Amino acid sequence: MKNFSPNMLKTFESCPVKYNLKFNEKIAVPQNPALFEKGKKIHALANYYHRGADISKLETALTESEREVWECLKNNEYFSKKCIHSEYPITARLDDIWIFGRLDAIVCDCADGSNASYWILDYKTGAIPKNSEKDFQTMIYLLCADLILPPRKSLAFVYIDLKNNENKVIEFTPELKGIYEKILKEKCRQILATKDFEGKENRPHCKFCEYNKICR
């Protein structure tokens, strides 16, 4: 396998055993859907909204806490910009390796041609990554968007923190591009070269991992 998503890289980083079970052995373990319900609703609403659909009936079905989150997103300065892609699949090639993902949205400021600025949006109903500039999602999405977008003034990744009503903005630069390509190539090749997927025991997340019953 030479195709890697942010989730795959994060999983290997946290626990190689879980990576092997999930992506090599293809073992699917049920998870509590309630853990993701709010996030899925907000993402679905945002997608319909950007596509110009009538979401009035969907809005009435929201709980009070979901409605607060949705209003927070609708009033966000970046979410209000012109959307050019929503729930958009992306891919890019790094030598003999492919990276891929699905963007929540790409928006722009409507400036003409090479004067346009673009932002990749990622809606977070939970916590944003602690080291967001070096997060695998940030790196993959920016590298992919850099390839598919036309010549531009600027490109940035925006984590929209809906829990705290804050934005974390990472500006894409030529320097970061080189750093991201190096990190991703090294990590992907490390995974491809791994023969013995050893676990990382006694990690805090092991207690809550859906694979903790079968990983030994």
The CATH number that applies at residue 106 is: 3.90.320.10
Our count of domains for the chain comes to: 1
**Whether residue 108 has pLDDT greater than 60:** yes
In a domain, 214, yes or no: no
Confidence (pLDDT) at 202: 59
With 0.85 as the threshold, say if the pTM is over it: yes
Residue-wise pLDDT for 148-205, tens only, equals 999 999 999 999 999 999 999 999 999 999 999 999 999 999 999 998 887 666 567 7
In a domain, 104, yes or no: yes
CB of 196 closer than 8 Å to CB of 9: no
Confidence (pLDDT) at 32: 66
Residue-wise pLDDT for 120-159, tens only, equals 999 999 999 999 999 999 999 999 999 999 999 999 999 9
In a domain, 173, yes or no: yes
C-alpha 101/C-alpha 91 separation (Å) is 7
Q: Which domain holds residue 17?
A: 3-208
In a domain, 213, yes or no: no
C-alpha 166/C-alpha 160 separation (Å) is 6
Provide, rounded to the nearest whole percent, the portion of the chain with pLDDT above 70. 94
In a domain, 69, yes or no: yes
Pairwise pLDDT comparison (84 vs 29), residue with the higher score: 84
In a domain, 40, yes or no: yes
The mean pLDDT value for 8-12 works out to: 95
In a domain, 150, yes or no: yes
In a domain, 167, yes or no: yes
